[in-house]
Amino acid sequence: MMRYLTVGGAWLLLALALMGCQGLGGASGDGLGDFKQGLTALAQQDPDRAIDLFTSALASGGLEGQAKALAHYNRGIAHSHLSQLGKSLADFNQALQLDPNLAAAYNNRGMVHYRLSQFDKAVDDLDAAIRLGPNSSAAYYNRSFPLAAQGKTAQAIGDLEQALKLSPGNDVYRNRLNWLLRPEMRLPKAPPLPGGKLSGSGFVVSPQGHVLTNLHVVKDAKDIRVPGLSEPLAVRAIDALTDLALLQMPKESDKIASFPTGKAPRAGDQVVVVGFPLHGLLAPGPSVSTGNISALAGPGNNPNLLQITCPVQPGNSGGPLLDEAGQVVGVVVGKLDAAKVAKAFGDAPQNVNFAISGAVAQEFLRSHGVDPRPAPAAASPLSPADIAEKAASYVVLLECTR
Same domain, 173 and 275: no
Q: Which residues of the chain have pLDDT under 70?
A: 1-30, 182-196, 279-284, 300, 336-350
| Contact between 362 and 331 (Cβ < 8 Å) | no
Q: End of a domain among 129, 164, 180?
A: 180
CATH code: domain of residue 57: 1.25.40.10
- 18, part of any domain: yes
- 284, part of any domain: yes
The structure's pTM equals: 0.62
Q: Could you list the residue range(s) of the whole structural domain that residue 281 is in? A: 270-361+371-394
Q: List CB contacts of 181: < 8 A, sequence separation 6 or more.
A: 157, 300
pLDDT at res. 103: 94
Same domain, 174 and 278: no
Give percent of the chain above pLDDT 90.
52
pLDDT at res. 346: 61
- 244, part of any domain: no
66: Cα separation from own chain's centroid? 33
Whole-number Å distance between alpha carbons of 114 and 119: 5
- 30, part of any domain: yes
Q: End of a domain among 180, 196, 215?
A: 180
Domain count, the chain: 2
Phi, then psi, of 74 in degrees rounded to 5 = -70, -30
Q: Parallel, antiparallel, or unpaired for β 395-401 and 198-204?
A: antiparallel
pLDDT at res. 241: 74
- 240, part of any domain: no
- 261, part of any domain: no
- 168, part of any domain: yes
Whole-number Å distance between alpha carbons of 169 and 143: 19
- 300, part of any domain: yes
CATH code: domain of residue 378: 2.40.10.10
Cα dist from 258 to 11, 212, 361, whole Å:
37, 12, 12
First to last CA, the chain: 31
* 3-state percent breakdown (helix, strand, coil) of the chain, nearest 5: 45, 20, 40
Q: List CB contacts of 86: < 8 A, sequence separation 6 or more.
A: none
Tens digits of per-residue pLDDT, 144-160?
Answer: 989 988 878 889 999 99
The sheet carrying 234-239 orders its strands as 223-225, 395-401, 198-204, 210-214, 244-248, 234-239
Tens digits of per-residue pLDDT, 310-330?
Answer: 999 888 999 999 999 999 999
Tens digits of per-residue pLDDT, 181-228?
Answer: 765 555 555 555 555 678 899 999 999 999 999 998 998 889 999 999
pLDDT at res. 308: 94
